[in-house]
Structure 1
Amino acid sequence: MTKTYTIGEAVGALMRDGMPVRFTAYDGSSAGPPDADIHLDLLNQRGLSYIMTAPGDLGLARAYVQGDLDINGVHPGDPYPLLTRLMNHTKFRRPAPAELLTIVRSLGISNLKPPSPPPQEHLPRWRRTVEGVRHSLQRDAEVIHHHYDVSNTFYEYVLGPSMTYTCALYPTADATLEEAQAAKYDLVARKLELQPGQRLLDLGCGWGGMVRHAAREYGAKAIGVTLSREQASWAQQAIKEEGLDHLAEVRFMDYRQVEESGFDAISSIGLTEHIGVKNYPAYFGWIRDHLKPQGRMLNHCITRPHNKSTDTGAFIDRYVFPDGELIGSGTIVTAVEDAGLEVQHHENIRVHYAKTLAAWCQNLVDNWDACVAEVGEGTARVWGLYMAGSRLGFERNEIQLHHVLATKTEAGGTSGYPLRHSF
């Protein structure tokens, strides 16, 4: 007689080392240790269809975001303990074709019809052509809107008063998130050696944190550009409230539309991930052309620990950073140098991003009810899952964060850079 599988038996059969948490399904079956402190509960058939039609992180994420898969024993704002347990102990076993067919038949072939994805999910890459060519002005504006125009109020809850959505720099292990974000901006300013009256252009400026810091602390004349209308509106209001109108400005526009040139310094904090690796030569060439001779550039971006792949994974691409690409810092350094800029300093601060993400998750936990009221539980679940998973990635050196500092060195070799770093 051919064996038939319950949902729990199927899950158990596909896990090489068994389930490290308790799994229960709507058919009454289960897998994993009964006394586990973390439980996964599959609530309905739609959740099963999500998992069967998109094996791996995408299917599980769809079921979880839609509320068809529940987690008990950890807070949805910070599922880090669950993800750690799964990554430490769970490996999928590839069943023989006959066994796989038996499992599918047992669970129901009708479940191979994909349900509609959650509303938070972006189109797959092959369908985004309706929004324009990849990394065109139109398509970049759309994908930035998808991620950053969630709600300024939601970001205030998660990011804290600094409204800074990039890696902080912790001067001490017990520094607060706000202290670490201020330290990050100050490190960038010191690497650029900003002086009163100098002109700074901040590309992908977010809510204007770098622009305001440069103007307030260094007296620089700073312009920031962002493709998020919500960010630009918030930043301009913050600039006005701080009395920095005479020095600072944030514009809702693509950096490629900036007409001014001859900047003393250009900072790019968290934008390169959205540019596309094939566009690095044009991007760093644009920066070179908009710097004055001996001007400085600081590029801050998430990287891979290798230079082999740009893939961000299905979940990140559909729910977090559509069209995002990551590559090793070696590729970035090469592109910067090939654009004619001289690299002066190169630094990896990945461990700081793990701490930053832990702090953001704690903010989400602390403000969970308000965040759900603002954006809905599905979106709040996306953020908890994404930030906790990213924290693991930085901790385990699967992703990194690099600073690359360069100068527009003149033809005769004069860079304006001191004999030793001044920061």
Structure 2
Amino acid sequence: MTLGIGEISDRIFGTDVPFAVRAYDGSRGGNPDAVVTIDISNERALRYLVTAPGELGLARAYIMGDLLVEGIDPGDPYEFLSLFLDGFAVKRPSAAELVDITRSLGLKSFRMPALPSQEAVPQWRRTVEGLRHSRKRDAEAIHHHYDVSNEFYELVLGPTMAYTCACYPDAGATLEQAQEHKFDLVCKKLGLRPGMRLLDIGCGWGGMVKHAVTNYGVTALGVTLSAEQASWAQQSLKVHGLDDRAEVRHGDYRDITETGFDAVSSIGLTEHIGVKNYPSYFKFNYDKLKVGGRMLNHSITRPDNKAPALTRGGFINRYVFPDGEITGVGTIISAMEDEGFEVRHSEDLREHYARTTREWCKNLSANWDECVRDAGAQTSRVWGLYLAGSSIGFERNHIQLHQALGEKIAPDGKAAYPLRPDFGV
């Protein structure tokens, strides 16, 4: 028996699913009453799905434009992804059905097509770029994600150019207000005052540096592995007349030789350094501080400390953050304590990141044509999937975002931290 692609879909998923299926062979399947229709428009789409069943095959076909989804906004596929993440049963075909399915697909369907250019190679093949989290390989991973174009990021992130979780002071706050509020929260947690020196590691486009220098009278050094970010940030500091008190440097944070800082902020970097490098990372930051100085670590976390930090082979690992690692806040706090920090405060901003990524997704949607002209349709589709999926992940507590505040206390135990801190938020 030869089965059409739509019929094969029904054998595997049934018809009680939140989508209809239409295939290039003229067959149909799925739920005919569904609002969303998945169009498997050519043979290459089928081969992506067959050779990598699950999210990676779907992503490849969608990114290449071979799998079309009617009824969704490509810049904001939030509703579509929600349908899939809500889950539905996958049937286990009988042995006879498997034979029919395999015969109907044909051997050529099991040959992997060329992968989208946006996909990073598997981790086991990245050794040409050095061991995981070596300086060379970290630089390549950062380049893969961050050096799209500054214009693209301006369209998605908005005027603050802040590519980290915002903190909404109230339900009616805009994204821009929430990003400024986040920077202010970090400054207050660090206890910044005029004349202090701030080190901002993984500074991005310099938003934290600019805010701290402008509003708290500090001098600041930021460092980023992205040449695009450093160039944009340094020019912005010059335009605003801050380059005599602030610098954004292109390079690896491990190359910073200056010491004696009053505060260190690390906003969105820990995800990239690797759990095995936590001891050296936090020791580096501890050694950069004066006694009484504080470090604020802001990073994506897992809801527990048991799951593997490194996710292999999935969409995020291949298309968004190659070599990225996230773990529970308990692991981070333990590493901070083991390197000498007294951890004074920890806070989860999970719901804030769900809202932040939704706003970025809406910006992508509103500026879709410009984003496609700048970065191409395939990269823009990657970002739509990534931002919408991230928002759902934060909403459903699959991932979290924690700030952890540590202090370098004196050898005799004396601390500069107030008896009861008031962050004013």
Are the aligned partners of 1:300 and 1:402 in contact in 2 as well (CA < 8 Å)?
yes
Q: Distance in 1 between matches of 2:254 and 2:98?
A: 51
Q: How far off is 1:18 after superposition?
A: 3.2
**1:231 aligns to what SS in structure 2?**
helix
What pairs with 1:8-407 in structure 2 (closer than 5 Å)? 8-15=6-13, 18-96=16-94, 98-308=96-306, 309-312=308-311, 314-407=314-407
> How many residue pairs align between the two structures?
421
Q: Distance in 2 between matches of 1:139 and 1:311?
A: 15
Are the aligned partners of 1:12 and 1:18 in contact in 2 as well (CA < 8 Å)?
no
Q: How far off is 1:396 after superposition?
A: 0.3
Which of 125-134 and 306-315 deviates more? 306-315
Which of 128-137 and 80-89 deviates more? 80-89
Q: Distance in 2 between matches of 1:326 and 1:103?
A: 39
Task: Quickly say closer, same or farther: Cα 1:193–1:18, change in 2 above 3 A.
Answer: same
Q: Distance in 2 between matches of 1:230 and 1:197?
A: 29
Deviation readout 1:46-102 (Å, 9 max, x if unpaired) = 011011111111110000001100111110000000011112242333445553343
Q: Distance in 2 between matches of 1:235 and 1:72?
A: 40
Are the aligned partners of 1:169 and 1:184 in contact in 2 as well (CA < 8 Å)?
yes
Report percent identity of matched pairs. Answer: 60
Q: Distance in 2 between matches of 1:395 and 1:22?
A: 27
Q: How far off is 1:402 after superposition?
A: 0.3
Specify every segment of 5 or more residues in structure 2 that has no aligned partner in the other structure, as ranges: none
Task: Quickly say closer, same or farther: Cα 1:409–1:95, change in 2 above 3 A.
Answer: farther
Q: Distance in 1 between matches of 2:174 and 2:202?
A: 25
CA RMSD in angstroms, aligned pairs only: 1.2
Q: TM-score normalized by structure 2?
A: 0.97
Q: Distance in 1 between matches of 2:422 and 2:96?
A: 66
Specify every segment of 5 or more residues in structure 1 that has no aligned partner in the other structure, as ranges: none
Q: Distance in 1 between matches of 2:223 and 2:151?
A: 21
Which amino acid in 2 is paired with 1:344?
R
Are the aligned partners of 2:15 and 2:29 in contact in 1 as well (CA < 8 Å)?
no
Task: Quickly say closer, same or farther: Cα 1:302–1:97, change in 2 above 3 A.
Answer: farther
Q: Which residue of 2 aligns with 1:6?
A: 4
Q: Which residue of 2 aligns with 1:415?
A: 415
Q: TM-score normalized by structure 1?
A: 0.97
Q: How far off is 1:310 after superposition?
A: 1.2
Q: Distance in 2 between matches of 1:228 and 1:106?
A: 48
Which amino acid in 1 is paired with 2:250?
F
Are the aligned partners of 2:227 and 2:250 in contact in 1 as well (CA < 8 Å)?
yes
Q: Distance in 2 between matches of 1:385 and 1:332?
A: 28
Which amino acid in 2 is paired with 1:416?
A
Deviation readout 1:19-72 (Å, 9 max, x if unpaired) = 211221111112222232222111100011011111111110000001100111
Which amino acid in 2 is paired with 1:191?
K
Which amino acid in 2 is paired with 1:66?
M
Q: Distance in 2 between matches of 1:347 and 1:95?
A: 47
Deviation readout 1:221-270 (Å, 9 max, x if unpaired) = 11100000000000001101111112111000000000001110001100
Task: Quickly say closer, same or farther: Cα 1:317–1:101, change in 2 above 3 A.
Answer: farther
Q: How far off is 1:111 after superposition?
A: 1.1
Which of 25-34 and 315-324 deviates more? 25-34
Q: Distance in 2 between matches of 1:306 and 1:282?
A: 23
Are the aligned partners of 1:20 and 1:89 in contact in 2 as well (CA < 8 Å)?
no
